[in-house]
Structure formats: C-alpha cells, structure tokens
A and B are shown apart, each in its own frame.
Chain A
Amino acid sequence: MGLWIVMVIWGASAMKNYFDWPVVKNVLPNGMRVLILEYSKIPLVSYQTWFLVGSRDERIGHTGAAHMLEHMMFKGSEKYSGKDFDRILHEKGMVNNAFTSWDYTGYYENFHPRWLSLVMDIEVDRMKKLRLDPKDLASEKQVVLEERRWRIDNNPQGTLREKLFDMIFQNTPYQWPVIGYQRDIQSYTPEILRQFHETYYVPNNAVLVIAGDVKAQEVLPLVEKYYSDLPNKPIETRNWLKLKEKPVTRIPEKKYVEIRKKVQTRTYLWAVLGASVHDPKSVALDALAGVLGRGLSSRLSRVLYYEKGWVNQVSCFHLSADAIGLFGCYFVLKPKVEWKAVHDLFWRQVENIQSQGISVEEFDREKLQIQKEFLDGLDTLEERARTLAYYELIHGSYEAINQQWQRYMSLTVNDLITAAREFLQPSKEVVVALLPEGDN
C-alpha cells in the first residue's frame, strides 16, 4: 500500500526567525495525518496521538465519556494489559500521559528514539481494540470521581468555572464540564465507552505527530507498516457541526448566579460569548482582553486596582474553542466594596473603548505581548510537537500557525473597537459570584 506523501518545509518568510522547522506531512490512505518534525536538540522523541473528539461529542446523561475513555485507554488493549502498558513504558524509560478538552483528546509518550516501533505497536493496538473490562471500569470510575472532587467539588474556583460554562454555553455541547457530572460518571458502561471508541478513535479522525531526534525517511515506512491496516470509518454526525456553521448569538436566560461556599474572598466571574478560533474576530478579542485586563497597566487594573483600590485582582481573557468562544473578566473584590460599583465602572471602561478607541501605546503593547506569548509556548520539544498537533487537528493544517500569526500581526485598532462593539454588550453578559456563606 503506497503512501501519499506531501513534503512541506515550513518557513513562511514573515515567520522565518520563529517557525522555520522542517516538517514532513503524510496522509495515509486511511485518512490518518502524520507529521514528522526533525529536531535533534535532545535525544528524545515526543510522540503525540490526538483525536478530534472531546466533551462536545457527548450528550447529557453521558457527560465526561471522552475523558473516561481517555482513562480507560491505559487499562489494557487486545495485546497489552493495563499493567503491561505501564510496566513496559516505565522499563523503557518513557514518560507518558493524556489530556481531554472540549474539542480533542491527546496522548503522548516521550522516549528515546530506539523505542519508536514499540510505541507504534502499543498505540495501534489500543486504537484497534480496547479491553474495557467491567472490573477495571468500576475501579477507574472511582479514580475519576476523585479527580472530579479534586478539580471541582472541593475546589471553589473549579465550581465557579463549571457554573459559568453551564450558563454561558447553555444548550450547546460546551455546556457541561469536560470531566462530566457525578451522576453520569457513575453510570458509564463498557458499551457506552466502546461505542465512543469505535466511532471516534479511527485513523481519519486522528493526527499523529512524531517530533524529535528522528529522520523522516526512516520513520515513514514504520508509520505505514503499523498504521495502514487501520480502517477508515466515516463519522456520520457531530453534535457541534451546526454550532460551527452558525455561532450562538442568543441572549442568556440567566444573567446572575451566586454560589455560597466556605470562602473568605468575594470573586466575580463576568463573561459574554466570544469567537471561535476560526473566526477572524477571535484574534481581535484576544488583544482586546489584553487591553482591558491583562497585566497591571491594563485599563481595568489601572482604574480598579490602582486608582480606586476596589479589587485585589482583575484580569480578562478570551478562550477560543473550535466552535465557540468566551470573553471573560475575573474580579476579586476588597472587603466592603460593592459589586455594583465595580460592575458600573467596568462598563464605563468598555464603553470608553467602544466610543473613544484605544491608544497606539496600548495597541503596540498588546502586539508585543502576543508575540512573546507565542514564543513562550514553543520552548521545548514537547511544546513544539503539541503545537503542530493542535494546528493540524483544529485548524486543518499545521501551516495554519502562519495564518494565525499573520492575523495577529495585521490587527488594527479598528478591529479591536469593532469587536468590542459587537461582543461586549450588557444584554449578553452573565455573572457568577463566589461568595462566603453568610455574607450579605
């Protein structure tokens, strides 16, 4: 079976100083995309297997299934038992882990190049067929319930975030937590997870990145040998396609919710819907978040922290996912300060940007910050491998990092003002407050 090989050397001129990495891209006949980055600074390989499946592919009643399946991927496949899996990787000096998000699930191993074939054998085996033993599942449910308590139930900030997503992403598959609700975690069966695995863990839904001390021409035949037999299986429906085609613009049903916990500080999380990573406006919202509330010299920090002294902390952010986005600001109020006063002043700052614009100094600062943040995420072999996997899977091509960079670099002040006018509207806001029990 032949390979359809596309050789691309990555190095757009505008980014030559930053991203001139040699990447070889291959698409197997079964649809699996393979990226190889030759990078010999250290004698390691970062092996990233990412699937385009996340919590947005679940439904109410089965929330957290993508994450649960991620855990069960370590509990044994046809050829390798769960114990074998951990033991073999450990004996060979590897480190490995996995992660699940709204949009994707990723697995990685970092190891010496000599173990490349072994890792391929293991990864292909667990793509082919998982054991999903009911006894293992029962035990792993307890592990995931502990994880949930640790991240959310016993962590007030986690509870705050869960509530915010529930409100702002209402009636979308981004509404529930990636880890799932407790009652759903308790109710998984091997069948539910097997169906999930068989549907989404298919080569045409995966990206494999092999980055490190390897030669592409040596790796390609191995990839073909191990992965070519995996059958292509089209995925019929995706929960989020409609959302991707037509972004949500509705007015939220609930605008304000209070959570009472044993805490001593008052935190307010304010948000409106933002833009997806594919929306050109997303980069303007990223920069707008910076102008408004990233850093101590930002608009909000200047007024609320330095001038008024009303908050201990204020910061803004823009989260962009594949099909949705969220623009938020986070306020920790000082004792006796009223939220209403902070909220009013916040909106005055927003209105000021909408009507008066922003200064050249603010704008230049943001562009420089963005440039630095881009570079800060590319320090290590593993970070580079993840960056490639992310862009290939979510943006459709690793080369999209070039476009993303260009989008940031070609931003104008007007783009930020337009985005502020379109997205930051009082009618669209939701606020979740985390307050001490008994506090009035």
Chain B
Amino acid sequence: MAFFRNLKYLLVLGFLSTLFVGCSHFIDRKDRGMNSMKTYQWTWQEERLKNGSRLIWVADDTLPKLQVEVYFPAGFVWDSVYKKPGLAYMSLAMLDESTQNKKALTMQEFRENHALGYHADVEADYAVVGYTALSSQEKALLEYIKMTLFEPIFDPSDFERVRQDVQTHLKRIMEQPNRLIQVLARKERWGAHPYGSFKMGTLSSLEQLTAQDLKEFYLKHLRVGCLTVAISGRWTEFFKQQLTQIISQLPNQCPKFSYPPVHNLPKDPPVVAFVHKGLSQVELQWFLVLPDVVRFSRDYVPLRVGVFAFGGAFASRLNQVIRDDLGLTYSIYAQLDSLRVASVFTISSFTEGERLNLLIQKVNELYHQWLKDGITESELEAAKNVILTQFPASIETASAMAGAIARFAVLEWPIERLNAYLDEVQSLSVDQVNKALKHHLSGKNLRLVIYMDEHYRNLAPKDWVIRPFEGL
C-alpha cells in the first residue's frame, strides 16, 4: 500500500499587499488497492504580507460557514521574560472586552447577535484566537476581527472581572484531578524552564498583574505583523480583500523569544506524589523530555510510530495488558508531543488507590520490555495502517487542515514538510523505529508524578518524594 503524492506550486497574483505565494497539495490514492479509484485532494493558498504575516486560505464549499484562526508568536514562554506568570493568557483574554467604541457587554451583544463564535487560548510557543461565523455574517465577522485585534482598551474594571474569572477557573482545575495532574507534571518536567509555567499563572501571580501590564504585552506581542492567519470555509472575494487589508495594517514588528537550553532539566526525584484529601482515585503521569527531538528531527516520525504501537490504540501493548487483561484502569495511553525546541514522551493513567503499586509495576515492566525488544514487524504494519488510513479524517474539514498548516507556520516549521509525513510513515522500517526508541528513550530517566489521597501515603516506597498539594 502506498500513498502517491504530487506537489504542484502555483503562483498566485493577488492583492497589493501580497508578496508571494500559493501552494496546491494533491494526494492521489490510486495505488492503495482500493475499490474505487477516485482521487481526493486538498489545497491551500498562502499569501505573505509585507508586514510579515502569512495568510493561509483553505476553501471548502461544503457548508455555508467560515472560520478564521489567528496565531500569534506569543506563547506563555514570554511570561518568564517579564516574570509574570499568566501574563500572555490574561492579555489574550482581554481582546474581546471593552474597545474604544464599545463596552464589554456591547461587544458580546454584537458577537452573539451575529452568531459569531470566538475563542482564545495560549500554548507554550504560541497564542491563538479563533472566530467562526455563518458565511452570511462575514461582514460582521470582519468588523469583530478588527475590533478584537486593533481596539481593546484594557479597561481596569474589565480586567478585575476577568482576573476573578481566571482565578475561579484555576480553582476549578484544582477540583479536577485529571486536569490538575497535567499542571503538576508540567512543573516537575520543566522546573524553572519557561515551559514549566502554567498558562493561567497562579492565584497569587494573577494578583500581581495590572491592566497596564496586559496592555503593554498586547502592544508588543499581539498587535504585531508576524501573524499566521488560517481561513477556511466559504467566503466571498470581498471578505478576502478586506481581511487581507485588516491584517496588512498591523505594524511590522515581531519580537523573537530566545529559548534557553533544555538539557539542564531536573532529573529528580524519580517519583513524586502530591497528596490531598478527599480523592477516590489516583492520577499518574510518567514522562521523559527528549531535548534532541523536534518535529523535523530525523527520529521524530520513527519515535511517534513506536510510541503509537506501545500505547496509542485499543490494541496497543499498554491497553491490552493494563486495561483488558488486568482491569487496572479505564484509560491508559502513551504519546509523543512536540514543542518548538523539544519533545515530551508521556504515559497517562489512573486507578483506584489500593491497586496503585500494581499499576506502576506493570507499566514499568511493559516500558522496559518495549525498550529492550522494540516493536515487532506486525505492530509497525498495524501502526502504519492506522495512521495512513485515518490521516484523511484528520484533515477532512477545511478548518482542521487550515489549523494544522497554521500551527506549523507559526512555529516557523516549513509547511511543505507536511506533505512528507505520509511518505515518512510509509517508508519506516522496524529497525529505524527500534533504533530511535533505544537512542532517545531510557529506562533510567523516566519520571513519575502522582496525585493521590493522603490516605495512601503508607503505600509509598521509601524512595518516593511525598509533597502535600498546596494549591496553584
């Protein structure tokens, strides 16, 4: 089975502010031994503006709606520069509050009267604001985009209200063990590295912020010309011209974050258990940072496929043994996530307290066996089949595809490399995968973070570090 793909580049002559370029991407499926021989395709068109912004257009006439996602190179890593955890998140949260001409409530009225969808979020390496609309509402959408990108005033009373909301959100995360474990493990994983912060900051760090801090961050990092904008769905030529013009007006500035090295991360303790009261289940996350692996490292795809075989599906080793054979959990999975300057391998699960040590023992056994033996030929073939078969679903909607391309672009990864992914998967050998696993994963450095009821302290071996959970 093979996917054959042809790339075609075509020059798009466009608008005044457009410098370059368009790209079409075709995937032929004529040689997969399939019943029907149709070709499906997806295309995108890219424009680069003079101010450094990139517009990625993915047309899709299936439904009368459209989506715009704006990616800013303003992740929460910047919080470390200003020593203000939560700064990027809070700044972004203020974009849809009061503007020069509209109070916060009026902004929401405008948005909801036109059935516009809006969300904003921050990741470690970038921030994103997303807008959705019925195609019939594209003029209102343009106006709303303009207001949120250009006109927020960071009103102090809005700020106080939003701050309280985010603090409440933090408290709610503390009530949800499956979300809290992510925050605790992140901190353990990265220590003082900028990746170690939580995007929402802490209850106390939010108290230190001022509306002025947020405004300054906005002017330096959000009102910038190096945006990546992904547009998908059904739009008119008018919309295209107007949006291009709006983005063109952003100033030509683009602060670059200087990433500290990721080789000096904490290596201890091997196991840390945070304890709290009133918990009826234990959350666990094993992790290992891979500082030499980024999305386009030679070993990234082999590792990803190897990890998928280990814990990425119902038929994976982890799930078959831990869930199906032993009934130790409802969910266990392993994954490899890529950040801009490193990747992270994790195994996540949960279980009832009395069975905690058995779960840990079994996962450790499987992990070490996996590293020792590697994956088998049949595991590789199955993993390839799942990835190749399901790939079209991952880019089925224009918005999914536009988002995927834009995330590559905002991290300054070459978007043309997206085209290579299926070939890389298809051509993998067992030897490549197992060499990559052995080279990058280690039996010694895998660390474990646990969140459990203090009642289970007595189950902890002596080498565990026990810490009371004291809040975020």
Contact = CB atoms under 8 A, between A and B. Distances in A.
Given A95-B390, A368-B114, A143 B329 contact: yes
Nearest to B277: A262
B385 A92 contact: yes
Given A44-B392, A154-B281, A372-B65, A265 B177 contact: no
A150 interface: yes
Given A155-B176, A296-B112, A139 B278 contact: no
B324 A82 contact: yes
Given A95-B390, A111-B389, A297-B109, A149 B104 contact: no
Contacts of A375: 63-65, 134
A181 to B, nearest CB: 14
A139 B104 CA distance: 54
Interface in B322-339: 323-331
B174 A264 contact: yes
Contacts of A365: 112-113, 115
Contacts of B177: 154-155
Interface string B182-217: 000000000000000000000000000000000000
A387 to B, nearest CB: 13
Contacts of B399: 379
A257 B108 CA distance: 34
B10 interface: no
Contacts of B115: 365, 368-369, 371-372
B84 interface: no
Nearest to A368: B115
B428 interface: no
A297 B396 contact: no
B105 A297 contact: yes
Contacts of A382: 393
A322 interface: no
B382 A265 contact: no
Nearest to A139: B327
Nearest to A147: B330
A74 B320 CA distance: 12
A332 B175 CA distance: 14
B324 A146 contact: no
A119 to B, nearest CB: 13
Given A142-B327, A149-B352, A297-B109, A312 B40 contact: no
A139 B324 contact: yes
Of B35, B277, B331, chain A has the most CB atoms within 10 Å of the CB of B35
Contacts of B65: 372, 375-376
B381 interface: yes
A213 B392 CA distance: 12
A154 B280 CA distance: 5
Interface stretch (B120-128, B147-155, B163-171, B288-296): B163-171
Contacts of B330: 143-144, 146-147, 150
27 contacts: A86-B314, A90-B385, A92-B385, A93-B386, A94-B386, A112-B389, A113-B35, A114-B33, A143-B327, A146-B350, A149-B350, A150-B350, A154-B177, A155-B176, A296-B105, A297-B109, A306-B104, A309-B161, A312-B168, A368-B115, A368-B137, A369-B112, A371-B115, A371-B134, A372-B65, A372-B115, A381-B393
Interface of A: 17-18, 40-44, 74, 82-83, 86-87, 89-96, 110-114, 138-147, 149-150, 153-157, 213, 215, 218, 261-265, 295-298, 301-302, 306, 309, 312-313, 332, 334, 361, 364-365, 368-369, 371-372, 375-376, 378-382, 437
Interface of B: 29, 32-36, 38, 40, 62-65, 104-105, 108-109, 111-115, 117, 132-134, 137, 161, 164-165, 168, 171-172, 174-178, 276-281, 313-315, 320, 323-331, 350-352, 378, 381-382, 385-390, 392-393, 396-397, 399
